[in-house]
Amino acid sequence: MQETLKAFRIQSRVIGALLLREVITRYGRHNIGFMWLFAEPMLFTLGVTALWSLAGMHHNSPLPIVAFAVTGYSSVLLWRNMPGKLVCAIEPNLSLMYHRQVKIIDIFLSRLALEAVGATVSFIVLSALWVSLGLMKLPEDVLKVLFGWFMLAWFGASLAIFLGALSGRSELVDKLWHPASYILFPLSGAAYMVDWLPKAAQEAVLYLPMVHGVEILRDGYFGAVVKTHYDVTYMAAWCLGLTVLGLAQVRVVSRMVTPE
Amino acid sequence: MIEIHNLSKLYPLAGGYRTVLDNLNFTISPGEKIGILGRNGAGKSTLIRILSGAEQPTSGSVKRSMSLSWPLAFGGAFQGSLTGLDNLKFICRIYGMPYQDKIAYVQEFTELGKYLREPVKTYSSGMRARLAFAISMAIEFDCFLIDEIISVGDARFHAKCQHELFEKRAERSFIIVSHEAHNIREHCTKACVLHQGKLHEFSDVDTAYTWYQGVTA
């Protein structure tokens, strides 16, 4: 117990130090510095909201376009950026592993924490902004929104750890992830509601775990205005499976790395 | 004490494995200064990395009951966009030490002046070496792992490093790996030769050196 507590303290220390380091290397000290962590996803979401409004996507549904775009694109940023940041995260940090307390999982967790915080703050700030301007209403069920957000974060993090560890063994992962993430974007539920699709298509897209997360989020946000389709157990099973596989792969790769 | 039991390391190679370290057994007591001689590619750096815990052995164990440094290499692996001070802060944070009272020491040793607050990518190789060494000395250890003694920097820098490491910290343990005997003769009380995956221990440096010359000639 004492040992575990000590290990936990060391690990939190290392992750904290890696976080600060990552923030400075990624955003620097110039202009708004670490605020880019939130500004970057906010700009993305703003751009997509503008495009979707102009494209008239809302003709399909009585849903307010701004709330639809913000919930959709924020969730994509949440689950898709995590794997993006962990694929090939090992190699540039090999020199840090000269210090025995710095492990691959620490590098992964610090990057995941940054992505999660960035996406979450941008989601909250953007929503607050639109609500205060009267372009968006407050969510119907905040707890359900939080739950959907948590599930998407869990999915993103577990997929990221799995792919991040695999990318330490083969470059193929990096090459395949980029096309895969582009193809998954339109399928992920960000730009449609499952209910709009024909029955056969509904069944097909519901095989994708992130679709369930986006549906939970929108169920919480819009309440009874929309009809949503999701299965929490199905999505949780995916996340749990990916978490176990991912952690196992991290163990394998940890034994294989050679610090430079 | 550091105890090494049945330590082996194999690296995958096209069509098989290469045994770099083959079943090593030895111990390092507090205050002991061990030099390990070996040719390029003999596995010296691998051994140092495994002792430090940066790399895992294929089999066997390393038991550490005194604090052990990271492998001090004097080139220094730094993130170019971070400043010297950022690098110092990072190291202090992961070792759980306050960095505030280390700044003056690092400032003085490195003679970096204002450059301490500039990105490392603007440094010359000598500046990097001084920073790497000063940061290594900012955290205290019972045993230091040294991979090839100071091959960079000028005479003045060498003298300063010697003073910091071997005079001010004379009571600590050292494990020094090198392919040159004079480094080891100067600082070590005991010498070993790493040859074809096996570690051969000798009671004095000269016997070790004669044997080393014999097998590598």
Closest B-chain CA to A251: B56
Is residue A193 within 8 Å of A217, Cβ to Cβ? no
Q: Tell me what percent of the residues of chain A surpass a pLDDT of 90.
A: 63
| Nearest chain B residue to A9, by CA | B96
Whether residues A24 and B81 touch (CB distance < 8 A) is answered with yes
Distance from A99 to chain B by nearest Cα, in Å?
6
Residues paired with B21 in a beta bridge: B9
Average pLDDT over residues A157-165: 97
pLDDT at A124 over 90: yes
Cβ contacts (< 8 Å) between A259 and chain B: which residues? 49, 54-55
Mean pLDDT for the stretch of residues A96-111: 92
Residue A206 pLDDT exceeds 60: yes
- B179 φ/ψ angles, rounded to the nearest 5 degrees: -100, 0
Q: How far apart are CA A197 and CA B126, in angstroms?
A: 65
Q: Touching check for A251 and chain B: CB below 8 Å?
A: no
pLDDT at A46 (0 to 100): 83
pLDDT of residue A68 exceeding 80, the answer is yes
3-state secondary structure of B177: strand
- Contacts of residue B70 in chain A, CB cutoff 8 Å? 98-100
Q: Tell me what pLDDT residue B153 has.
A: 67
Q: Residue A102: which of B77, B78, B94 has the nearest Cβ? A: B94
Q: What is the mean pLDDT of residues A106-125?
A: 94
Q: Please list every residue in chain B whose beta carbon sits closer than 8 Å to the beta carbon of residue A100.
A: 52-54, 70
Report chain A's mean pLDDT, rounded to a whole number: 90
Please tell me the distance in Å from B155's CA to the nearest CA on chain A.
27
> Residues of chain B whose pLDDT is less than 70?
74-77, 149-153
Residue from the list B56, B90, B96 with its beta carbon closest to the beta carbon of A21: B90
- Angle (CA) B70 B47 B159, round 5°: 50
Least confident of A15-19, A90-94, A213-217, A218-222: A90-94
ipTM rounded to 2 decimals:
0.85
Place of tokens 């301490």: B116
Q: How far is CA A236 from CA A75, A155, A194, A210, in A?
A: 17, 8, 19, 10
Considering only residues A14 and B12, tell me which one the structure prediction assigns the higher pLDDT. Answer: A14
DSSP string, A231-254: -HHHHHHHHHHHHHHHHHHHHHHH
Mean pLDDT along residues A75-83: 93
Report the 3 state secondary structure along B86-141: HHHHHHHHHCCCCCHHHHHHHHHHHCCHHHHHCEHHHCCHHHHHHHHHHHHHHCCC
The confidence score (pLDDT) of residue A61 equals 63
Give the confidence band of A47 by pLDDT, cuts at 50, 70, 90.
Answer: confident
- CA-nearest residue to A96 within chain B is B77
Question: Does A16 have pLDDT greater than 90?
Answer: yes
A19: left (phi over 0), alpha (psi -120 to 50) or beta: alpha
| Residue A54: band (very low, low, confident or very high) from pLDDT cuts 50, 70, 90 | confident
- Name B18's Cβ contacts closer than 8 Å, sequence gap at least 6: B10, B11
Chain A residues near residue B56 by CB distance under 8 angstroms: 254-255
pLDDT at A181 over 80: yes
Look at residue B77 in the predicted model and tell me its pLDDT.
66
Please report the pLDDT score of residue A58 as a whole number.
Answer: 56
Percentage, residues of chain A above pLDDT 70: 97
> Distance between terminal CA atoms of chain B?
34
Residue of B nearest to A11 (CA): B94
Helix segments in chain A, DSSP class H: 2-27, 36-55, 65-86, 104-133, 142-167, 172-187, 199-205, 209-222, 232-256
Question: What was the pLDDT predicted at B76?
Answer: 58
In three-state secondary structure terms, A101 is coil
Amino acid at A41: P
Output the six-digit token pair for A161. 């750890």
The answer to whether B98 faces chain A, any CB pair under 8 Å, is: no
The minimal CB distance from B93 to the residues A13, A97, A259 is found for A13
Span A186-215, average pLDDT: 94
CA B154 to chain centre: 20
Comparison of pLDDT for A48 and A75, the residue scoring more: A75
Mean pLDDT within A185-191 = 90
pLDDT(A178) > 90: yes
Q: Chains A, B: CB contacts under 8 A, how many?
A: 55
Asked if A114 and A19 touch (Cβ cutoff 8 Å), the reply is yes
